[in-house]
Each structure stands twice: as C-alpha cells, then as structure tokens.
Amino acid sequence: MRVLVYVVFVGGLVLDCAKALEATATTAQLKEAAEKREGDITCQESDCSCVFRSHGCCCGNLELQSLRDQVTETFEDVSGKINQLADEIGQVIEPVNVAFTAFLGENYKCIGPFERNVTIPYDVIYLNEGSGYNSVMGLFTAPVSGVYSFSLSVYSRLQRAGEHMYHKVQLMRNGRAEVSVWEDNAEDMEDSSSHRVLLSLQQGDQVYAELVQDRKLCGNIQGLNSFSGYLVYPMSA
C-alpha cells in the first residue's frame, strides 16, 4: 500500500514538472512572438468582457485612456474660460482714454437759419483723445461702450438792437434728441447757456449737436460755442 502511494506521489510530481516545463515553454514562445511583433498592440472592448480579463493591462489601458480624454476636455474648457475672463479683466483694467473738446472757430459769425435741422460743425479741436470726434461731420462716435459725460455750451449775440433772439440747439444721440438749450426773447442783446448730461453708449453710437430749423446763432467769439465729452467708465458690450 505504501509503495502504491509513493508511486502516485511521484507520478504527481512528474506531472506537475511537465506542466511547469510546458508553461515555461509557452511563456518563452509568447515573449519571442511579442519581440518580433511590429506596431502597437491594440486593446479591444471585448477583452474586458471576461471577469478575469477585466483586471488585465488592456482593460486598465482603456480606463486610463477614457480618464485622460476627460481630463483633456476639462482642461480645454477651463482654459477657454480663463482666457475669456482674462480678456474681460483686461478691458476693465487697461486704461481707455476717450475725451474731446471742440469749438466753433471765428469763421462762423452766424449759423442759420436753415430749412431743416443741421449738425453744428465744431471745427476747432483742442482735444481728441481716442479719436472719437470727427470735425468734418461734427459728430462723436463712441470708440468703446460705456458711460459718457457730454457738455454743450451755446452763445449768441444779436447783430442789431431790437432784433429777436431765437435759437435752439439740441444734443442728439443716434438721431434722437437727449437735451436742448434755447432762447426766445427780444430783450437781451446776448445770451449763453450750457447743459451737461450722462449717456450710456454702445460702441459705435453717435452723439452730436444740431441747430433746429428756422433758428440761428450769431456773434460767436472766443470759442463760446463748444461741444465736449469724455468717457466716465467703460462697460462690456
């Protein structure tokens, strides 16, 4: 009986050794095949369907690839938002200088009357920071969106005693009157008035002063007829 058990035990050892040798041979063959293979070894989704394979390198590579794609997508999204925020901050922090002052020159002794409203051509420019004012057109175009302050000064003097002083000048924004100054009496030989207003403008909005039809300004001296404005603070469009 002991002889039979010993034979069985020895036989088992021989069988295990044979399997070990077979496994070693298989490993060597796989290694040799892998060294000879050219190109990348791709991992398929089907490799992960098996419970035992789900913990293998291929399945882990798929998970890592998916995670890397998610991280890349998140980074690109965050990077885009940071760049957008930087642009918005830059628009606020970076100084935006917009200011102008223009007067009627001495060549204009009288303006009007006209059969329609006419833009007043303030032709003497003392300041035009930001190049918003156009003396040829007599209008200001907002270089940037923001809140602007505008001042309008109007002076008129009668040429002869007993004449009727009759003028009206209005500040316009995109064709719509915002404020106005006027005089309608026969008692004064000369008169002046001014007005200041804050306007919220979008980039490209136009502001100008116009003389209302059938009215006139005369006796302009020392640049008393003026139009000026400046950017108080910028705003996002």
**Where in the chain are the domains?**
2-92, 99-234
pLDDT band at residue 141, thresholds of 50, 70 and 90? very high
- Decide if pLDDT at 154 tops 70: yes
At 3 the pLDDT is 41
Over residues 171-180, mean pLDDT: 94
At 14 the pLDDT is 45
Non-local CB neighbours of 230 within 8 Å, separated by 6+ positions: 98, 99, 100, 148, 149
pLDDT band at residue 105, thresholds of 50, 70 and 90? confident
For residues 55 and 141, the model is more confident at 141
Tell the burial category of 62 from Cβ atoms under 10 Å away from its Cβ (0-12, 13-18, 19+).
middle
The residue with tokens 């935006």 is 96
At 92 the pLDDT is 57
- Decide if pLDDT at 215 tops 90: no
- pTM for this one? 0.59
- Decide if pLDDT at 185 tops 90: no
Q: How far is CA 26 from the centre of its chain?
A: 66
CATH of the domain spanning 99-234: 2.60.120.40
Task: Give me the percent of the chain exceeding a pLDDT of 70.
Answer: 64
- The overall average pLDDT reported for the chain is 77
Over residues 162-176, mean pLDDT: 85
Range in 15-19, 198-202, 230-234 the model is least confident about: 15-19
Q: DSSP assignment, residue 46?
A: G
- Decide if pLDDT at 90 tops 80: no
- Decide if pLDDT at 20 tops 80: no
